[in-house]
């Protein structure tokens, strides 16, 4: 399967712990995006990479959140000192052009 993959699919953590998610985009795609989706809502943009450069960050991305794409391939999203409000589905998408974005299966985060 050559689609976007995300790991882990599910993560349960205690408040205050750090968590890290990984996204592997479609191999020929140079653009990578992170979105967050809460129950009953559409995905909301968090951040965007073109190759290894992080070109855009949403105001939703507080200073507890950091994303990297060190070699322009896979990306990681880290949340430090998790809060219950961080519970959501974290989606990764990749694209060759900005508009046709292909999504992975997501990582469901539950903060207890």
What residues between 21 and 80 interact with other proteins by CB under 8 A?
Answer: 31, 33, 40-45, 48, 50, 55-56, 58-60
Closest CB to other proteins among residues 28, 100: 100
Burial of 25 (0-12, 13-18, 19+ CB in 10 A): buried
94 binds other proteins (CB under 8 A): no
Q: Where are the alpha helices (DSSP H) in 14-66?
A: none
Minimum distance, C-beta of residue 66 to other proteins, in the bound complex (Å):
18
Look at residue 63 and give its three-state secondary structure.
coil
Minimum distance, C-beta of residue 112 to other proteins, in the bound complex (Å):
19
14 binds other proteins (CB under 8 A): no
Contact 56, 106 (CB under 8 A): no
CA distance 77 to 79: 7
**Interface residue list for other proteins (CB under 8 A):** 4, 6, 31, 33, 40-45, 48, 50, 55-56, 58-60, 91, 93, 98-106, 108
């Amino acid at each position: 399967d050559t689609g976007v993959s995300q790991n882990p699919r599910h993560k349960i953590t205690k408040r205050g712990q750090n968590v890290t998610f990984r996204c592997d985009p479609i191999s020929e795609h140079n653009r990578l995006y992170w979105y967050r989706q809460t129950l009953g809502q559409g995905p909301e943009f968090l951040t965007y990479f073109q190759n290894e450069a992080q070109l855009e960050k949403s105001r939703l991305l507080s200073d507890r959140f950091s994303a990297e794409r060190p070699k322009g391939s896979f990306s990681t999203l880290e949340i430090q000192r998790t809060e219950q409000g961080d519970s959501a589905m974290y989606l990764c998408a990749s694209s060759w052009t900005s508009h046709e974005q292909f999504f992975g299966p997501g990582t469901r985060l539950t903060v207890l």
